[in-house]
Amino acid sequence: MGKKDMILALIEHYSNGNKAQFANRLGITPQGLSTWIKRESFDIELIFSKCEGISAQWLLTGQGDMFENNNQTKSELFSRNDEKNSDLPKISLEKGEGKPYFDVDFLGGFDEVFNSQVSVPDCNVIVPGFEKAQVWCNVTGHSMEPKINHGDIIAMRECSVDDIQYGETYAVVLDTIRTIKILRKGSSPDVLRYVPINTTDFDEQEYPIARIQRIFEVIGSISKFF
């Protein structure tokens, strides 16, 4: 079950389909709930604490029964460290464990998160094979499909313009645009080409190198699992 369907199922069960009532139950605004639905993402810890009887396993994976394993504790919700799941991605609330995950869309405010001294990550993400990552965040849009899908989370490591390997994928913060594209040489030495994978619906563009404020190597992406 996808995140959007899960949210709608929660609204139906706990508030008889009344979105405003369910938002009030959680202590968030109706607009915030609408954002969850639009982004197909939600605060697992908040729902677990406000919706009695909910299954932590169902919240994490969308699989199984919504109300089974009702005796799970909050710590069990965020700790899946048994040997059976040792190779699976997981989240942690422990400081210093894993890499920080910011529940924001890269194209909609990534730069603000990194430049804000008061912003803190929602949790840490531990994904075997992505140890080089410095940070994780959401990605929106379809220009990099099928390699990177709308709703995925991406693992990134900050680099410099001098580190660019042409033909590789980067997350770039320009002065007015935040985008994820394949970078190639431009028509002149002072510009770069930003090339999408989905060339059916998106065109490549060129932007001056001088407009780059920050640049991140995209190590990889995975489907959001929480």
Q: What's the confidence (pLDDT) of residue 146? A: 86
**CA atoms of 190 and 192, how far apart (whole Å):** 7
Please, what is the end-to-end C-alpha distance for the chain in angstroms? 12
Q: What's the confidence (pLDDT) of residue 61? A: 73
Eight-state DSSP code of residue 94: S
**Domain residue spans of the chain:** 3-78, 99-223
Which residue from 213, 214, 209 is spatially nearest to 194, judged by alpha carbons?
Answer: 209
Q: What's the confidence (pLDDT) of residue 154? A: 92
pTM across the whole model: 0.60
Q: What's the confidence (pLDDT) of residue 156? A: 93
The mean pLDDT values, 10 residues at a time, for the chain of 226 residues are 86 91 89 84 81 80 71 49 57 82 64 47 85 88 87 92 95 87 96 94 94 92 82
CATH superfamily of 99-223: Umud Fragment, subunit A (2.10.109.10)
Q: What's the confidence (pLDDT) of residue 103? A: 77
Eight-state DSSP code of residue 85: G
CATH topology of domain 3-78: 434 Repressor (Amino-terminal Domain) (1.10.260)
22 with 11: CB under 8 angstroms? yes
Q: What's the confidence (pLDDT) of residue 109? A: 41
Q: What's the confidence (pLDDT) of residue 118? A: 33
